[in-house]
Chains A and B, each alone.
Chain A
Amino acid sequence: MNRVPRTTPEVLREAMAGNSKAFQMLVEEHQAFAYRVAYRFVGHANEAEDIVQEVFVKLWQHLNRYNHEVKLTTWLYRMLANRCLDFLKSARARQLKNQEDIEDSYSVSGSITTDETLLNQELMKAIQETAASLTPKQRAVFILRDLEDLPVAEVCEVLSMTAGNVKSNLYYARKELSEKLKVYYQTNNPISL
């Protein structure tokens, strides 16, 4: 489900040369992925969309400096994570922290709604809620490693962290989530951890 898009080298080359049609193809291919990452970080649809827009505008402005040795998605993960971490430190994020997002983006549209998918949806919302109490670094490491399923080396590259630092943040994030989720399910849900 965590589909990471791939752009053909031709489209990328054209976009790098300033072809806006090619860039639009690149946007169409990558925006769902970018939105998923941003939403997992910030938990609000409007803010996630704004971040995605800003990141693509920045990508367009810097695309001619793109280094082919780095995967485009790694570069996007990096821009998204940086922008999301800035957002999480902002006054706007503190303001939104106590507000319920009216429309959540965990959708079951287009798929068969079974008890299992509904439970997964509930679980994902609970994870998102409990992850909101993690420090921005712990949250970033948790999202990239446990939700996006990136290898540790790529998490290090995206967040400019050492492997040791990534692992220690993962430990604190998982431990904190385990305690919070236990409390959450004891009070809200029949699933036991």
Chain B
Amino acid sequence: MTCRKMEVLIYQYTELSPSERSLVEGHIQTCLSCKNLMEQVNQQQNLIRQAATVPVEIRNAAQLTHKIMSAIQPKPKPSWWGLFENHDIFVPRLAVSVAASLLIIFFAVEFFQENIPSTEYSKIDRGTSTLNTTQFLNTQWKRKEMTSMSVSIYNCLKRDDCAFKKI
């Protein structure tokens, strides 16, 4: 076996099988450079083993345990009111979205009052040139009724004949 191949085995001496070890032993009987390398590697391994005995210490063991134990505790489920407590961003966002929703509802009411007076209106066959008079008058009457209705949609919804209920 060449000295180059022997070098690998010398560095791996502690991991070798008995037969591989005797191969190395045989070689170093006759090869001085491999014998020197063997001694050097042995010395290095001894030093490493000795150095490995130096204790490695945690700076604050109790604190580390505490950090680990806090990290594994299940977090409490967020309650609805909890959302208001600790969130700086959530409350202004909620306020803006509530205001926006109210505005949309207000304009929607206005729009329906102006443009869609009743379900009958949609039933008018816009394709025919002759207008069904009764239907037309009914529609006009309902339209009048709705425009006179107060801005509050809720008053209308309280009544059984509220046109909004049919939309």
Contact = CB atoms under 8 A, between A and B. Distances in A.
Interface of A: 1-2, 20, 23-24, 27-28, 31-32, 35-36, 39-40, 45, 49, 52-53, 56-57, 60, 103, 105-109, 111, 117, 120-121, 123-124, 127, 145-149, 152, 166-167, 170-171, 174-175, 177-178, 181, 191, 193
B56 A27 contact: no
Given A31-B61, A39-B56, A170-B11, A23 B44 contact: no
Contact of B72 (A57, A123, A177): A57
B71 to A, nearest CB: 5
8 tightest A-B CB contacts, nearest first: A1-B53, A36-B56, A107-B57, A124-B51, A123-B51, A124-B54, A147-B52, A60-B72
A150 to B, nearest CB: 12
Interface string B48-60: 1111111111110
A108 B40 CA distance: 28
Binding site secondary structure of chain B: helix
Given A27-B68, A171-B8, A106 B54 contact: yes
B56 A106 contact: yes
B40 A146 contact: no
Contacts of A20: 69, 72-73
Interface of B: 7-8, 11-12, 15, 40-41, 43-45, 47-59, 61, 64-65, 67-69, 71-73
Binding site secondary structure of chain A: helix
Nearest to A55: B68
Contacts of B48: 127, 146-147, 177
A57 B158 CA distance: 59
16 contacts: A1-B52, A20-B72, A23-B72, A31-B58, A31-B65, A35-B56, A35-B64, A40-B56, A53-B67, A60-B72, A103-B59, A124-B52, A124-B54, A127-B48, A146-B45, A174-B45
